[in-house]
Amino acid sequence: MTKTKKMDCSWSSYFSSSSLLLFLCFFSFDIINAEFNLTTISFDEGYTPLFGDGNLVRSPNGRSARLLLDRFTGSGFISSNMYKYGFFSANIKLPADYTAGICVAFYTSNQDVFEKTHDELDFEFLGNVEGKPWRFQTNLYGNGSTNRGREERYRLWFDPSKEFHRYSILWTAKNIIFYIDDIPIREIVRSDEMKLDYPSKPMSLYATIWDASNWATSGGKYKVNYKYAPFVSEFQDLVLEGCPVDPIQELSATDCFESDARLETADYSVITRKQRLAMRRFRQRFMYYSYCYDSLRYPVPPPECVIDPAEKERFRDTGRLKFGGSKPKAAKRRRSRRARRGRVQVVAAAEDPDM
Ligand SMILES: *[C@@H]1O[C@H](CO)[C@@H](O)[C@H](O)[C@H]1NC(C)=O
Ligand SMILES: *[C@@H]1O[C@H](CO)[C@@H](O)[C@H](O)[C@H]1NC(C)=O
Q: Is residue 11 part of a domain?
A: no
Q: Is residue 354 part of a domain?
A: no
pLDDT tens profile 147-186 = 999 999 999 999 999 999 999 999 999 999 999 999 999 9
pLDDT tens profile 26-70 = 455 554 446 899 999 999 999 999 999 999 999 999 999 999 999
We report the CATH number of the domain holding residue 125 as: 2.60.120.200
Q: How far is the CA of 117 from the centre of ligand 2 (A)?
A: 7
Of 210, 259, 207, give the one whose Cα is nearest residue 236: 207
Three-class secondary structure assignment of 169-201: EEECCCEEEEEECCEEEEEEECCHHHHHHCCCC
- Closest atom of ligand 1 to 37 CA is 1
Q: How many domains does the chain have?
A: 1
Cα–Cα distance, 115 to 264 (Å, whole number) = 29
Structural domain that includes position 329: 32-347
Cα–Cα distance, 139 to 190 (Å, whole number) = 15
Q: What is the DSSP letter of 321?
A: B
Using alpha carbons only, how large is the chain's radius of gyration in Å? 19
**Mean pLDDT in the chain?**
84
Identify the weakest region by mean pLDDT among 74-78, 84-88, 267-271, 317-321: 317-321
**Nearest ligand to the CA atom of 143:** 2
Q: How far is the CA of 91 from the centre of ligand 2 (A)?
A: 35
Question: What integer pLDDT is reported at residue 162 of this predicted model?
Answer: 95
Q: Is residue 331 part of a domain?
A: yes
Q: Is residue 12 part of a domain?
A: no
Question: What integer pLDDT is reported at residue 218 of this predicted model?
Answer: 79
Cα–Cα distance, 260 to 237 (Å, whole number) = 22
Q: Is residue 353 part of a domain?
A: no
pLDDT tens profile 134-151 = 999 999 999 999 999 999
Question: What integer pLDDT is reported at residue 34 of this predicted model?
Answer: 61
Q: Is the CB of 144 under 6 A from ligand 2?
A: yes
Q: Is residue 355 part of a domain?
A: no
Question: What integer pLDDT is reported at residue 251 of this predicted model?
Answer: 59
Residues with CB under 6 A from ligand 1: 37, 39
* DSSP string for residues in 83-129: EEEEEEEEEEEPPPS--TTEEEEEEEE-TTT-SSS--EEEEEEE--S
Active site residue 124: yes
Q: Is residue 147 part of a domain?
A: yes
Confidence of residue 4 (pLDDT cuts 50, 70, 90): very low
- Active-site position among 115, 124, 193, 250: 124
Identify the weakest region by mean pLDDT among 25-29, 65-69, 99-103, 116-120: 25-29
Question: What integer pLDDT is reported at residue 312 of this predicted model?
Answer: 86
| Ligand 2 mutation pick, 111, 120, 143, max ligand atoms within 8 A of CB | 143
Model pTM? Answer: 0.85
Q: Is the CB of 244 under 6 A from ligand 2?
A: no
Question: What integer pLDDT is reported at residue 210 of this predicted model?
Answer: 96
Cα–Cα distance, 350 to 218 (Å, whole number) = 10
Question: What integer pLDDT is reported at residue 311 of this predicted model?
Answer: 82
